Every structure is written in C-alpha cells, then in structure tokens.
A and B are shown apart, each in its own frame.
Chain A
Amino acid sequence: MNSFPSGVEPGVDSLLVDLGAVPLAVLRKLDGDVLRRSLGHAIEQTRYVRVSTDGGGTERID
C-alpha cells in the first residue's frame, strides 16, 4: 500500500485504477491484468457495506 514510484508524494496507494481519463466507449472494451485486479477488488469491497445510523434503532456501524 505504501510503495511509491520515485517523484510521487508518498501516501496511501489504493487498488482502484483511475478511470478519470478513460471514455466509456473505451472502458467497455478494455481488458488486462490491472483492470481485472481492480474489478475484483471493487466487487470484493461490496461485501463490506459500511452503514452508519445514529439513534434510529437499526443496525449501525459506529
């Protein structure tokens, strides 16, 4: 999580690929290990829904 290429300010390094510059038309057709790993990570994260409720009597995260 903390390995950074030289010249990059150190910090947290996530498993989410940055799709900010990828048009939808391209994204639909993309493939590759990096993308597949990130897809798997995003799907895996949906197992852990973090819900916060306060004072409502339902299940809460905090």
Chain B
Amino acid sequence: MSKAILEVTGLRKDFSQFLGLLAKLTGETRVIPAVDGVSFYLRENETVGLVGESGCGKTTIGRTVLRLTDPSSGRIVFDGRDITHLSRAELRPLRREMQMIFQDLDAGLNPAMRVRDILREALTVHERPGDAEIASRIRELLEQVNLKESKLANFPSELSGGEKRRVGIARVLAVRPRLIVADEPTSALDISIQAQVVNLMRDLQKHLGLTYLFISHDLPVVELVSDKVAVMYLGRIVEMGLADDIAHRPRHPYTKILWASLADKQSMEASRRVHDVPVEAERRAWGAYDFEQPSGGCRFAPRCPLYQQQGRPAVCTDPASEPALRDAGKGHVVACHFA
C-alpha cells in the first residue's frame, strides 16, 4: 500500500469578477467558484484521471495543486508536507518534485531558444552539473522521450506537434519530478501521435515511478491510463472511483451522460440504449448553472434526467442539501441524492 504523495482537502479557488471601479469602491464583489470544495488524494506511482467538460474547473485544480495559483481555501499536502501557504521562495526547491505538462504545446518553449538550450536551462535550474554531465543527461533525456539528436539544434517553430510535446516532457523530466500534472497532454495532437505520447507517458511512469494527475476530456484515453477517475461538474467532484467502475458502472447521472456520449457518436441505437436523457433535457442543456443566481441545491439538477424522471423532487433544488460525496462501496463515491 503506497502512501499518498498528494492529498487535497476542501480545495476552493474563487475568481472574482471585475464589476467596475465603482463597485470596487463600494465593496461589491462577485465571486465565481471555479473549484468549490474538492478533495482527493494520489498515491505514489498511481494515475488519477480528472475528467469533465469545459468550465468544470479541472485545469484550475491542476494549477492550484502545484501552487501556480493560490487556493482561496483548503489544504494541499505534498509528500506529507503542507504546502498550502508556503511562500514562493520556500516553494522553489519543491518545484522540482512536482511538475506540469501544459495543454499548450508551446508552453515553456521559448521561441528564441534552441531545443538544446531549453534542455540545458532546465537541467541547471536546481543543480549545477558540469558540461560533460549536462551533455550526457541531455542524451539520456532524448532517449527517454524518443527524440532524435538532430532536433537539438532546432527552434520550437521547426518542430512538429508531437516533437514539441516530447521536448516539453523532456524539459519537465530534467528536474526529476515525482508528481506530474498532465493537462490535456494529447489534445492538440494528431491521432497517431496521441498514441505515441500516451505510450511514452506510460513507459515513463513505469521506469521512473512517476505519479500522474491526468486531466483530459478524452474519455477512452483516460480510462486506459488511469487507475482511478474523478468526474467533475461545475467545480465539484460528482463521482470518483476505479476507472473501470466509472466507465462501466457509473452511478451519477452526469457520468452516465458523459460516457454515453461516446456511444452516441457511434450509433443512434447505442445512444438510445445507454442514454436515458429525454429530449427536453437536451434543450435545457445550455442553461448551465448560473453563478449569478445560484439556484441552490444540486448543480446538475437543471440538466439531470434523474431529476425529471423522479418528478422533480424538492430535495434536488433545496439549497440546504447540496449532495455530498457518499460512499457507494469499494472506495467509489458519488454525490447524488438518488444514486
């Protein structure tokens, strides 16, 4: 039983909307909770997948967990150490242990630096190796990410998408991290290249003992690489459990819709079979949670087929009883009154 390398409790990240100078003077604020009370943990050498649609807060969680932005409240414990309130200076040495792969392929690749210089800089941030050691470590990194040596002299603008992603991964590996938050690592890539990157990441995990927080909207890939999966909706985790359970035995209505949409694309019959969303709910699908006038209670109610089927029970929209994550057996948790 490996220990938890990352533990997040009650994480909250608010973004305040700028209402104008006058409002600022009168103290009026509008706060949008992008992440609203999220708790989970990662064990060493494990992959936890984080899925959800745009706006659910999964990217924000990734950045907050690494302290790239500061949480509004909650606790982040990395390797037994509470890092929630550490200053920038105290965080710097810890940075090497927890890294991020950004969604943008160009992130971290200065367009004016050659690949060789990018890697050399990464290697010299926290250590001071000699020239010979730098050279050998660069070669090692290239081998690890399967990149040709000839690419060292290139600028990022001359690299293909897959190559850029690999350089980005090499740069991150240079500091020898233990935890990697991967934010949509395969999104901007071609399908055949996606497969290469996914294989690469799994290989690296096996050889280097890495822990991944795998944030993605590509459900099949998440199911493939993750041990556990957490499903997010509008800032909260609505369901979490083993990858297989989440994919094949989902309990929360949103999770069901999410996985059914995969089948949808394949055939109408499959969709009608798995998917029990009535047509009108689809119309209201656009009326997502309005943070300006919170309707109270379960956030998914406006779109929820279960809500419709059960005859719109009051408990779902009761502000006092927002569903909390309850244990459904074997570590599988769901936040729903009826699941």
Do A and B interact with each other, yes or no?
no
Give chain B's interface residues, CB within 8 Å of chain A.
none
